[in-house]
Chains A and B, each alone.
Chain A
Amino acid sequence: MNKNNNINKSIKDDNSFDYELENSNNQIPSKEYITYPEESVLLDFNLSLSHWELSIEALKQVIKDRDINKEIKIKKQNKYKKSLTINDLHIQIALCGLGAEEVNIPLDIWKSAYTAPQIILVAQVDDENNIVHFPGILTGSNFIKYIRNNFSRGSTISAPISEFEGGVDILFSYLKFFNKNSLPRIGLNKNSNFISLNKKNTTSLSLLFLIIIGIFLGKNFVNTRLAIKETTIVNNEKINDLKMGPIVSSNLNEKCLNNDFSNVTIKMFETLKNDNNIILNNLNCSEIKMINNNISYAFLTTGRSNNKSVVCLTDDKFNNPCKFIIGYFQENINPIIALANATDTKLPKPDFLNETFERIFISVNDVFGN
């Protein structure tokens, strides 16, 4: 018993114990447990699966719980592209953590209309607790709209979770009631068609399909597509309020310090500046920065402004084909041929019995990317 008293005394006299008392509590976070959304799917604790596998298991469990196994069938799964087919709907699953406020959506699957999904379903996964939450969906057409408004240079685009609504139930409701033809597969095509339908022969788009897409993407889409068939370039583009005048310095990084412009941007301005038929406008640094940020998905095209043929840059071919006027053409030349020559682009053969060229959209990334 005396020994025990001795222990007490020693502990009491030891300063390190005070240190421990003072410091140990500081290290304890105020909350060790984190809540999760009520509608989350709780999977078996013993499962040891990847995030993708957990999301599929959760989907299966919800289908079972809702007793809709007969109506809803998961057909194909592609774990590399994180996509699957439920009934006849092509769906991409965008994965993120359960506590995430935004989700990164891989864009590779969106490049071509052949692989582009019709719907994105977000799955928030906690692989330690095997909890999956589906906040909701976004249709392909709405996703394309989102991309247009939120440019991404990388292979993914980040979208807030709040963009996805309706939980997993709305997906099942779509599968049951929604007109599947109204959910087209729209791809981000770098070549001629920014938006193309999921048909092998995209060049023979029927007027009917154009109208359906037009309804989704607004009347401008239909107008623009139809305008392609016209031989003259209409002067209905939104006139950009950029000042006209020659670009002062060809070295963009020198002109705009503290800006790290991509090689594509620099090469494009350099090439256009050196062309005898094109005179570049004097863009300010913030404008060049804006162009640079969106350069991966930008197209060069021609337009009309103040009775002049102008060089346009756009990331929205259909609704705003002359988003930026970056320069103008010398008078008395064919702007389409001049732009094609400047960018070393081969013009498509004109239609039979049609001697004029269609308006061209030149992918900046394709021409100046290599």
Chain B
Amino acid sequence: MVKNISLKLDNLYKTLVRIKLNESEISKTNLNYLETSTFKYEIKEQLFAKDFDIQKILIQTKNREVFDMKIKNYCLNNKKNIDSLLLLRCRVSHAILANIKSIWYENNTNVTFMDLLSIFMEDPGNRYLSLKKKKGKEKREFNYMLIEELYKIFSIKKARIHPFSLHVIQSYESKNDSSISYWTRFLINRDPEIAAILRPHGQRVITDWALIYDTSITKMMKSWNKYGSKDIFFDFQKDVNFEKFNVEKTIESIFKNYQFYYPKAKEIYRRINRRDTGWRPDKDFLLKLNPDHHSEYINFNAEFIQKILEKMALCIRIESGEKIKVESLDKFNKRNLTSVANENKSKDDFASMSNYLKEVSKEKNKNKLSDIDSFIKIFIEKVSFSNTKKVFEETEKQFTNSPEILKAWIELSKKREFDTISLKTKISKSTLSKTYQCQNIAFCTSNEIIDNFQKITYLNKNNSKNFVDNFNKIYKMSKLFDIELALILSNSFKSNKKPSQTIFDDSDRYNLVFNSIMRYVNPKKGPKLLIAMHVNELLTSKGYL
């Protein structure tokens, strides 16, 4: 066990992970440096100065501090020392590798692992750095003084320091009370580039500050009651009896104040900085969040309020994470039942509209009533098929250059869900969404159907023949749709008591019809069964299957 730990530490602080250029492959691709698949990473052992003694770091610093902080403090006290900084650079490089691996495996991105790694793995591990100057190059020692200089330069540009590892080391503070590995993960997860990569895959990376605003009071209090604790108050002010103090009310009040002040503070930040990311609450902001009613014995200073906010965010994250875990488990357990259940759900949606129409219909002939069912079902299917066909044919041109698009359609036709298709095709969920346009198909379908319903509503014995003839000419439903059914439907769309009232005057009835069509064509959960059926038919008729 000790041996294992020793080996692990050997790797973590003595070796540095860096990107390696595979020269042979580069020559093959005519020095195309953009082709990132030619990159690989390597773990390189670092050489330290003979007179560098790590004991000095341990002796000079406080015992309670985490080990990485001891090294950081040593760096700050010995800004010209290259070796102490190199220890941290090594440690950060391993943390980057571990975190990128975890992101890459956990999230189904269409970015290659090396592309993802190269965003953060920018430190070659050199002891010296050559900087371009007006008159040639300048060789600089890679020590903490260099970090400070780079920090000034990048601050002007309002960007993070490059290499990323130096950004981690520079921003790593004792008040974080965490290892540099944790801090690396924290910064990677909040990096705008990662956010941009993960967003199309249905994931969003969000800072604590945006997350608190993102949540509503009920959800926040639910999370706090589960995962929050009043220990945070005891830790802050030990001499106050918190039993009498209503912690929940305080939390609620701080949260409400936060919701009120956050958009205003962000607006000011946005105007000054012309960007959205990077906002952090300052002291003035935090003091505004002081709870409205609180015990006079408690000193709600900015630092304490920040701690409470961070705890709130953590509770929300855990709650969200747990929710996902539970959902995933449910999903896993119900995997085999999903398609059946969703099929039933779609049928239910359809049935609710159909039943409603039958209920309001004055017609008592059972055969005719069952015709309403068949008519609406077939009508929706016909319209949604023609809309699916339009979308399919638009993307058909891309099949030669992007065979994965065809693969995606084939997967959809197998009644697979977006997650599975994305995993199989490596196409992001948002791209799949844009390709299939399920919502648009449903929207166009409901528009066309409601447009016809509107015309049907105002039919009477005198004007129905022309409409029915035209309708059957377009939709080829003469076996089902006749004057009699048209008039039954017309009555269904009117109010029994007031025939001048139609579904187009009654939002509840209208919503029922609209939502039923939308959900039948594009159910929110589970596979898109109707569209999948259409795609299958299209693929077969066009010879792709």
Contacts and interface: CB of A to CB of B under 8 A. Distances in A.
Interface of A: 3-4, 6-8, 10-12, 14-17, 19-21, 23-25, 27-36, 38-39, 42, 45, 47-51, 65-66, 96-103, 126-131, 139, 141-142, 158, 165-167, 169-170, 172-174, 176-179, 181-183, 215
A132 B433 CA distance: 15
B515 A139 contact: no
A34 B203 contact: yes
Contact of A99 (B54, B263, B320): B320
Contacts of A11: 9, 13, 54, 67
A14 to B, nearest CB: 6
Interface string B10-42: 100110000000000000000000000000000
Nearest to A130: B276
B206 interface: yes
A48 B276 contact: yes
Given A16-B67, A102-B217, A33 B204 contact: yes
Contacts of A96: 216
B210 A30 contact: no
B199 A10 contact: no
Nearest to B443: A169
29 contacts: A3-B48, A7-B87, A14-B67, A20-B67, A20-B68, A20-B179, A28-B182, A31-B317, A32-B189, A34-B203, A34-B317, A36-B204, A38-B418, A38-B433, A45-B192, A48-B274, A97-B214, A98-B214, A101-B218, A127-B266, A129-B206, A142-B508, A169-B442, A170-B518, A173-B443, A176-B447, A177-B454, A179-B505, A182-B505
Main secondary structure of the interface of A (DSSP, over half): mixed
B225 interface: no
B70 A66 contact: no
Given A7-B54, A31-B317, A166-B514, A177 B204 contact: no
A29 B179 contact: no
Most buried by A among B199, B325, B440: B199
Given A29-B321, A31-B317, A99-B219, A128 B433 contact: no
B324 interface: yes
User: Which secondary structure dominates chain B's binding surface?
Assistant: helix
B235 to A, nearest CB: 15
Interface stretch (B58-66, B145-153, B160-168): B58-66
A158 B207 CA distance: 25
Given A31-B324, A38-B429, A66-B443, A170 B515 contact: yes
A103 B216 CA distance: 7
A65 B218 CA distance: 34
B66 A19 contact: yes
Given A11-B67, A101-B218, A169-B443, A32 B205 contact: yes
Interface of B: 2, 5-6, 9-10, 13-14, 48-50, 52-55, 57-58, 63-68, 70, 87, 106-107, 177-179, 181-182, 185, 189, 192, 195-196, 198-200, 202-207, 210-211, 213-219, 263, 266-267, 270, 274-277, 314, 316-318, 320-322, 324-325, 418, 429-430, 433, 439-440, 442-443, 446-447, 450-451, 454, 498, 501-502, 504-508, 510-511, 514-515, 518, 524
Nearest to A17: B67
B202 A35 contact: yes
A284 B294 CA distance: 30
A94 to B, nearest CB: 12
Contacts of A4: 10, 14, 48
Q: In this complex, which of B213, B266, B277, B430 has the most chain A Cβ atoms within 10 angstroms of its Cβ?
A: B213
Nearest to A139: B507
Contacts of B57: 10
A36 B502 CA distance: 37
Contact of B314 (A29, A49, A98): A29
A42 B511 contact: no
A103 B277 CA distance: 24
A99 B450 contact: no
A177 B451 contact: yes
Contact of A126 (B204, B442, B450): B204
B504 A178 contact: yes
A10 B54 contact: yes
B48 A7 contact: yes
A29 B13 contact: no
Given A7-B48, A99-B219, A126 B504 contact: no
B504 A177 contact: yes
A178 B68 contact: no
Contacts of B107: 33
Query: What 7 pairs across the A-B complex have the smallest Cβ distances?
Result: A31-B321, A97-B214, A30-B321, A100-B216, A29-B317, A24-B179, A33-B203
A128 B206 contact: yes
- Give the residue among B57, B277, B447, B502 with the most A Cβ atoms within 10 A: B447
A182 B213 contact: no
Contacts of A66: 440, 443
A154 B321 CA distance: 34
B54 A16 contact: no
Contacts of A42: 199-200, 430
Given A3-B50, A6-B53, A177-B504, A45 B275 contact: no
